[in-house]
């Protein structure tokens, strides 16, 4: 392959997979005016839709969400969900094929990890949705911070003003929150929204529900996530899946209050989307009680309605039946 300019990428590589490169990388290879033209063709016109390396295999629809199953060039599959909100559409994007984390409430982790996605495959999930997306949430299959460099690169591509010009504050990363990765993303100069998948207020419970977080002290995890929110002046969203008899006690409420009282944080209480496991969701009354208790202590808390449940597109339900490990 012929290398040009700064020697980092070649013209052949750009032609082969144009969505995989930042504006600066293309500039380095072919100069500014060429980069401007390519970014305009890729992101402002339909011209390069044939240059894709992902294809829509199937779209499953319901009133609140559409689930897109994309086939990748190596015949692996990922799922992307578009969720209709009052003010627009969120794209729930995958970062990996399969997931290494094996959270016990989640179908996506059950088939194991196959590979990381490329920046190109992440970017294309957004641009090939048939809806006009005004929020991107990395809450699909995979742990985005375990595909760190690609994740950051894809965000740079999506927000580049020569291309899609996606607003940074419209991008959310949802993470299981290993302390190491929370500290790493804190140092980035991108002001994205962070959601910490906490799901427990006790170390033992978190270790059980989310085995990939073992070895990460729960108090330090919360501290690291709050530190991100302070540094970037963003509200920390805490996802908390309520499970009967596991993480719904008075002592759990007490711990959450201890951590988040007076902090710029909001707790999203999630209902369990029953998959095949032995876990049980709480009933509506318990859910309301949990929320009201947090509110009474001055903690911002909401029950997040789960969209896409009918089409197995809600949180924890994404799992491509096409992939064979």
Q: Which stretch binds ligand SF4 (CB under 6 A): 69-77, 96-104, 246-254, 257-265?
A: 96-104
State yes or no: is 79 an active-site residue: yes
Alpha-carbon distance 183 to 192, whole Å? 14
**C-alpha distance across the termini of the chain, in Å:** 33
Name every residue whose Cβ is closer than 8 Å to that of residue 108 and which is 6 or more positions away in sequence.
Answer: 98, 99, 140, 141, 142, 316, 317, 318, 319
**196 or 253: whose CB is closer to ligand SF4?**
196
Q: Tell me the two tokens of residue 262.
A: 């007076």
Among 99, 137, 171, 241, the residue binding ligand SF4 under the rule CB under 6 A is 99
List the one residue out of 117, 131, 108, 106 whose CA is nearest residue 199: 106
By CB under 6 A, is residue 9 in contact with ligand SF4? no
What is the spatial order of strands in the sheet that 171-175 belongs to? 54-61, 65-72, 77-85, 88-92, 135-138, 171-175, 193-197, 236-241, 265-270, 300-304
| Residues 50-69, mask of contacts with ligand SF4 (x by CB under 6 A) | --------------------
Q: Which stretch binds ligand SF4 (CB under 6 A): 26-34, 137-145, 272-280, 305-313?
A: 137-145
Q: Tell me the two tokens of residue 288.
A: 């309301």
By CB under 6 A, is residue 143 in contact with ligand SF4? yes
By CB under 6 A, is residue 176 in contact with ligand SF4? yes
Per rule CB under 6 A, count of chain residues that contact ligand SF4:
12
Q: Which stretch binds ligand SF4 (CB under 6 A): 139-147, 182-190, 244-252, 254-262?
A: 139-147
What angle separates helix 148-159 from helix 119-127, to the nearest 10 degrees?
Answer: 40
By CB under 6 A, is residue 141 in contact with ligand SF4? yes
Query: In angstroms, what is the C-alpha Rg of the chain?
Result: 20
| Residues 265-304, mask of contacts with ligand SF4 (x by CB under 6 A) | ----------------------------------------
Catalytic residues: 79, 315
């Amino acid at each position: 392959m012929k290398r040009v300019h700064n020697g980092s990428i070649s013209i052949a590589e750009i032609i082969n997979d144009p969505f995989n490169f930042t504006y600066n990388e293309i500039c380095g290879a072919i100069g500014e005016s060429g980069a401007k033209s390519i970014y305009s063709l890729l992101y402002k016109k339909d011209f390069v839709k044939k240059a894709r390396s992902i294809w829509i295999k199937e779209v499953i629809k319901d009133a609140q969400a559409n689930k897109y199953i994309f086939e990748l060039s190596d015949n692996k599959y990922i799922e992307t969900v578009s969720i209709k909100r009052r003010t627009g559409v969120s794209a729930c994007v995958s970062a990996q094929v399969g997931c290494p984390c094996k959270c016990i409430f989640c179908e996506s982790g059950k088939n194991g990890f196959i590979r990381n996605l490329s920046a190109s495959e992440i970017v294309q999930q957004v641009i090939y949705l048939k809806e006009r997306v005004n929020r991107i949430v990395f809450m699909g299959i995979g742990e985005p911070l375990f595909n760190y460099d690609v994740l950051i690169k894809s965000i740079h591509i999506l927000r580049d003003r020569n291309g899609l010009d996606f607003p940074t504050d419209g991008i959310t990363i949802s993470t299981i929150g290993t302390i190491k990765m929370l500290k790493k993303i804190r140092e980035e100069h991108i002001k994205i929204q962070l959601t910490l998948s906490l799901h427990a207020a006790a170390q033992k419970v978190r270790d059980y529900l989310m085995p990939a977080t073992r070895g990460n002290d729960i108090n330090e995890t919360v501290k690291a996530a709050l530190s991100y929110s302070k540094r970037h002046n963003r509200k920390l969203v805490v996802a908390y899946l309520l499970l009967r008899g596991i993480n719904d006690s008075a002592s759990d409420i007490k711990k959450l209050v201890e951590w988040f009282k007076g902090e710029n944080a909001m707790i999203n209480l999630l209902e369990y989307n029953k998959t095949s496991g032995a876990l049980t969701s709480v009933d509506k009354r318990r859910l309301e009680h949990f929320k009201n208790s947090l509110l009474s202590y001055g903690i911002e808390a909401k029950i997040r309605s789960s969209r896409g449940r009918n089409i197995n597109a809600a949180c924890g339900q994404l799992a491509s039946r096409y992939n064979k490990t």
